[in-house]
Structure 1
Amino acid sequence: MDLIKIICGMLAVALILGILTCGSHENQAAIAEELENNAVSESASGVTEEALATVENTTAEQAVMKPAPPDSAILAKGESKMATERREIENKVRATVRLLDVQGENLFPSFREAGSPWNDQNFCIFVWTINGTQVVCPQDVGSEGKDMKGLQDADGKPIWELFIKAVQSESGEGWIDYNLKKEGSSETSRMLTFVKKSTYGGQSYIVGSSLHVDEQIICRDLNDCTYLEEPGNIRVVELLNPKNLNQGAGLNYSVAHSIIKPGENIAPHMMKNPEVHYILEGEGVLYIDGIPVELHQDQLIYIPAGAIQTTYNTGNNTLKFLAINQPGWSEENTKVFE
């Protein structure tokens, strides 16, 4: 029996992202050297009194206490695409800070140059002054000069204050996790931003780069989904189907949340692929090629490819179950007999 392997995380072959050649030869050599050096030597001193005073006034309601993630030494062993990208962002931001500490704002034009090591499809730097003024933003040059101190995420987190706390830490750097509202939409986009402090000529900066978590981790809330009335008297929500996801290239299965009301049944149908049902709530009878299987909560049923199946809700409550298909469900693989 070909058992379905449900992959909870998306593993991909990690691509080593090189720094594109541009700018002066001195800059190229410096960046290449710094990317090989993962040590962090800068301290977080030099944060202005104004910045510290603002951070100290952050209310207790804004601080969200969560269990600590695994130790950084364990996280460093991650082999996913996201783990690789996080390490690359850290290395590139650190290398940029070391250059900025030496050359200062003379580097800003290079940061904005399309296709430069600081502004390409794989990596984009931003620079704020320590007091919250955005001075470099290659993806939105028009926002440069804007005061970012009042910037909050979709949940009310004070982003600038979180940046300050990170660069004030013992390491002088850190990752910030927050949600931004998508422009023109009520939906949010989860972001991870790595920031580090830089100092040049008496001016302190926050240097950072972001990772779009939604491109790596898929989360869907059933309450936000709409049930579809499928042929055969069943209501279904496709929670996961690779053909409906831009980031679904590594998936070859689908997961749907299905419900059958009391006294109702699904019309007999056949799937060309194997299917697994996991019963969440309720009771009923599933016929597989005419053989009855009594259904109850917390039960898994494997249905062979090509079997005629039909499910009856024999209880007084709604029958709820997950339907898992490999490959992902498609109309072409389904035949309904009515």
Structure 2
Amino acid sequence: MRASKIFIQFALLISLVLLLLSASVYSQQEDQVREQDRDKNYTQVQLQSELSTQKDTVALKVREAASLVEEKGEGSFPEFRVNGSKWLYDDFYIYVWRLNGTRAIRVVYPPDIQGEGQDVSGITDVNGKPIGKLFIETALSESGEGWVSYEWPKLGEAKPSTKYGFIKRATFGGETYLVGSGFYIEDYLFTRDTENCEFINATGVSLCELMHPERMKNNPGINYSIAYAVVGPGEKNLPHRLSNPETYYTLEGNGTLYIDDVPVTLQKGKLVLVPANEVRYVENTENSSLLLLVIDQPAWKAENEEIIG
């Protein structure tokens, strides 16, 4: 009888141990799942570009501002003018228009308070795009919100940049408002044009480096470079060899690309891939400039290039 009692106690002890072990394993599995989810979410955040993040941020803040207008009406306007607040910092600001049909009066404009009270129904961007009309149409649309792109100078600058604006409708006390904000696309993307590119003499032709990962502020993880080459009438560059493949794309003009002395005709829209370790040079056979994009992968390095003769 006593042995039976001891056996029962032992069995209960074993069951308790197994139960605790199961709970521990389950807890570890839960921790692993949570860790995997956290890693997955972190990866998703990492994969989201600065452009996408800013787009989401602007839309979120405009929606929050519209909710504030619907809650307080004109009582919300002073909050949008407080510098250093969530509504006004750096080059970010919230603007508000009061709508009356297709007519709009700007009632909040933090960059220039003197501009408040103006009729902005007919404003256009530098290219003549009727952004006043487009803003109003977006606010009065069925969804009541949307994006509009336009060219607008940054604060303190004369040259326009591409701005992407989010618009949302808000109502309060029988009044209809348009609430909006935006961001400059080029602040969140790498862009460059040949007008702002420093030209150098490379292998005998004028060339500017449009993109090189080692000379970009934030390396986006690319391993190629792009150069813009201008070969003047009658010019040719020095024969040279690269230890990596190189691609030539003709933007304008006509000429000849020599690969190991084999002539390849270049004309607008034509792409030629030069294999690694082949001697190459370009000759312009026309009376106008030959414009090329030259793409190296991996990115161009001086040690990978050898000038021949």
- The TM-score range, normalised by the shorter chain, is 0.5 to 0.7
Which structure is larger by alpha-carbon Rg, 1 or 2? Answer: 2
Report the counterpart of residue 29 of structure 2 in structure 1: none
Match of 1:214 among 175, 186, 194: 186
How far apart are the structure 1 equivalents of 2:257 and 2:164? 46
Are 1:256 and 2:256 an aligned pair? no
How far apart are the structure 2 equivalents of 1:115 and 1:184? 18
Aligned sequence identity (%)? 30
Match of 1:169 among 141, 158, 171: 141
1:164 counterpart letter in structure 2? I
Shift of 1:245: 5.9
Shift of 1:102: 1.4
CA change 1:167–1:231 in 2 (3 A) is closer
Are 1:105 and 2:79 an aligned pair? no
- Three-state SS of the structure 2 residue aligned to 1:164 is helix
Shift of 1:261: 4.4
Match of 2:131 among 154, 159, 162: 159
1:92 counterpart letter in structure 2? K
Q: Return 115-124 or 160-169, whichever deviates more.
A: 115-124
CA change 1:285–1:252 in 2 (3 A) is closer
Report the counterpart of residue 244 of structure 2 in structure 1: 274
CA change 1:251–1:232 in 2 (3 A) is same
Shift of 1:88: 3.5
2:246 counterpart letter in structure 1? V
Paired residues of 2:169 and 2:178 also in contact (CA < 8 A): yes
How far apart are the structure 2 equivalents of 1:14 and 1:123? 26
Report the counterpart of residue 125 of structure 1 in structure 2: 94
Match of 1:191 among 138, 163, 181: 163
1:194 counterpart letter in structure 2? F
How far apart are the structure 1 equivalents of 2:284 and 2:137? 58
Shift of 1:114: 3.9
Give the TM-score normalised by the residue count of structure 2: 0.65
Gapped regions of structure 1 (runs ≥ 5) = 1-12, 17-77
Paired residues of 2:104 and 2:136 also in contact (CA < 8 A): no
Gapped regions of structure 2 (runs ≥ 5) = 1-42
CA change 1:88–1:226 in 2 (3 A) is closer
CA change 1:167–1:334 in 2 (3 A) is same
- Root-mean-square deviation over aligned CA pairs: 3.9
Shift of 1:194: 0.9
Report the counterpart of residue 311 of structure 1 in structure 2: 281
1:301 counterpart letter in structure 2? L
1:112 counterpart letter in structure 2? R
Shift of 1:165: 1.0
Q: Return 84-93 or 208-217, whichever deviates more.
A: 84-93
CA change 1:100–1:15 in 2 (3 A) is farther
1:111 counterpart letter in structure 2? F
CA offsets, 1:114-155, max 9 Å, x none?
4433234595322222253333334x1534525151432011
- Three-state SS of the structure 1 residue aligned to 2:104 is coil
Shift of 1:189: 0.5
Report the counterpart of residue 325 of structure 1 in structure 2: 296
Which structure has the highest strand share of the two?
Answer: 2
1:168 counterpart letter in structure 2? L
Shift of 1:252: 4.5
1:85 counterpart letter in structure 2? Q
- Three-state SS of the structure 1 residue aligned to 2:61 is helix
CA change 1:144–1:319 in 2 (3 A) is closer
How far apart are the structure 2 equivalents of 1:168 and 1:126? 17
CA change 1:329–1:135 in 2 (3 A) is farther
2:247 counterpart letter in structure 1? H
Report the counterpart of residue 19 of structure 2 in structure 1: none
Shift of 1:256: 1.9
How far apart are the structure 1 equivalents of 2:229 and 2:129? 36
Are 1:82 and 2:54 an aligned pair? no
Paired residues of 1:261 and 1:313 also in contact (CA < 8 A): no
